[in-house]
Chains A and B, each alone.
Chain A
Amino acid sequence: MTNKMRKLPLLGVALALTVLATAAIKAQLAPSHLPDPLYTKSATFEDGDWKWADSKKGTVKGTVSFSTRRPQQPIVVYLVKLGTDEKAGEQGLYDVPDMIEVSQQGGKFEPSFAVLVRKQKVKFLNDEEKEISHNVYFLGDIEADLGIFDQGESREHDFEEAGEVSVHCSIHKRMDAKFYVAPNPAFAVLEADASSFEIKDVPAGKYKLHTWQKQKRFKDFETTVEVTDAGTTDVTVEMAR
């Protein structure tokens, strides 16, 4: 055996150690909010973003129990990736649903309640049949003013932050609406007396499940759920005082 041949195993060990050390350093530097385990194929991680479309996905199915009579009002169940801030833009890159239109005809917002996804656009139409001006402003987790617009005009707004938004007209005292802006597309709306829900196409990973109530009658519930590739995670949501 030549000297060169004798050194080959040593070189191999050194190379393996280098690869392992590099992987360990990369793991240390990886953003903590990336899906765990990492199922994404071509996501760009430099900006801390990951793509919902590229993720392997599962489903969360749940039933909701109530300790006492519930209002016949909507409840939103939504997921936030563990370790991320639901108010901030750490929820990955997802397809934003189409813009919704809100009518103001007859001095009322229609729909008067809507659940949106962060970054979704809303178009407010002054579609009055007569010459009446309206204003739209927001209070709550988002506070802003869309100005005054006359009959036939409209205003669009992108909801960049998640949370509860009260919508009002500063001219007309009975024009009110309520929006809930979900932090990402992983949510379900339980209408009126529904007591079960299903959230499909959730990228695999660990999430915190939360509730939001249009008329708060119970303490909001939260628990941790793990979504697996092509799997269904069952959860029981307990709404209690």
Chain B
Amino acid sequence: MRPATSICALGLIGLMLASCASAPSYPEPQGSNGQILVDLKGEPKEGVTGPKRREVREDYSTRRESIEKGESFERVDYSDLPDVVVVVDGAPARAAAPSASELEINDDGFSRGQLIAVKAGASAQFTLRNARGSSVHLYGFNAADGSFESEVGAGSLGTVKVSNPGRYDVYCDEDESLHCILFVVESAAWIGDSEDGAFFNDLPPGEYEVTVYPPRLPEWSKKVKVVAGKRTTLTAELTVNNLPKVGK
């Protein structure tokens, strides 16, 4: 095989592997139920193309000491926003993947910005892994004054139970700089990186409201009709571009 042919063949294999990795396969809809696939499309602010050369060279600071000083020019990666929560209101709740309800606290802070806990029975629960050298006391409130608090010992794994559904701001007594958001849901919910897309299978036909909660960005919401034996695909724009323009 000539070198040029080898390079072409390798390139083709690489492309095939890349396409396999980037396009997750979903089961086909079956029976009398339907599916929803939410494509999560992060869009940077209009007019922002990329870091300027000088910014990249001198100021694209992600070093820990710079961050601690409050100096950071690390950019938002709109191609892969982490910990995006998608809730299908009205759809039957199912146990979320275990990783969706895990939070770790270590020397760098919380391991994630958002997590979900699906309410089954009287309460929902999430697990807290304390990787710090001393015990931590976590607490949270939702808008309706629902609350929880829990203490987990150094190096231990704890289970935190929450009674009321809602969106909770979660804080830590020992380190007040920490903050994450817990969604306690009674409907079908998903959490993941935006490049994956949120897939909901086996939904009874009917009308649902899909709401997307990306960290630090406006919520996105749309009503959708699920039809038996069909997959309904939506594209959620995760962006500030639709906010009212103000200022002078």
Contacts and interface: CB of A to CB of B under 8 A. Distances in A.
B63 interface: no
B216 A176 contact: yes
Nearest to A131: B54
Contact of B243 (A69, A144, A175): A144
B240 A170 contact: yes
A139 B75 CA distance: 19
B244 A173 contact: no
A177 to B, nearest CB: 11
A166 to B, nearest CB: 8
A137 interface: yes
Nearest to B245: A145
Interface residues of A, number: 39
| Residue in B67, B71, B77, B243 whose Cβ sees the most chain A Cβ within 10 Å | B243
Interface string A135-155: 111110001111110000001
B98 interface: no
A132 B169 contact: no
A172 B70 contact: no
Contact of B176 (A71, A130, A143): A71
Interface centre among A139, A156, A174, A217 (most CB of B within 10 A): A174
Contact of A147 (B70, B74, B76, B245): B245
Nearest to B55: A132
B55 A106 contact: no
Given A135-B240, A215-B176, A172 B74 contact: yes
Contacts of A69: 173
Given A130-B54, A130-B59, A215-B176, A135 B48 contact: yes
A197 to B, nearest CB: 21
Interface string A98-109: 000000001110
B246 A145 contact: yes
B70 A106 contact: yes
A167 B247 CA distance: 14
Contacts of A220: 145
Contacts of A41: none
A241 B145 CA distance: 9
A139 B181 CA distance: 15
A236 interface: no
A73 interface: yes
Contact of B76 (A73, A145, A172, A217): A172
Contacts of A147: 245, 247
B218 A71 contact: no
A214 to B, nearest CB: 10
A170 B248 contact: no
Contacts of B141: 216-217, 219
A146 to B, nearest CB: 4
B199 interface: no
Interface string B124-153: 000000000000000101000101000000
A131 to B, nearest CB: 5
Given A130-B54, A144-B246, A241-B147, A107 B45 contact: no
Contacts of A133: 48, 52
A88 interface: no
Interface string A23-59: 0000000000000000000000000000000000000
Nearest to A128: B59
14 contacts: A106-B71, A107-B70, A132-B52, A132-B73, A133-B52, A143-B244, A148-B47, A156-B248, A170-B45, A171-B76, A172-B76, A216-B169, A217-B139, A219-B147
Given A171-B45, A175-B72, 6 more contacts: A107-B59, A133-B48, A143-B243, A146-B246, A147-B245, A173-B76
Closest 10 CB pairs of A and B: A146-B247, A145-B243, A106-B71, A108-B70, A155-B247, A216-B141, A144-B246, A174-B72, A170-B45, A173-B76
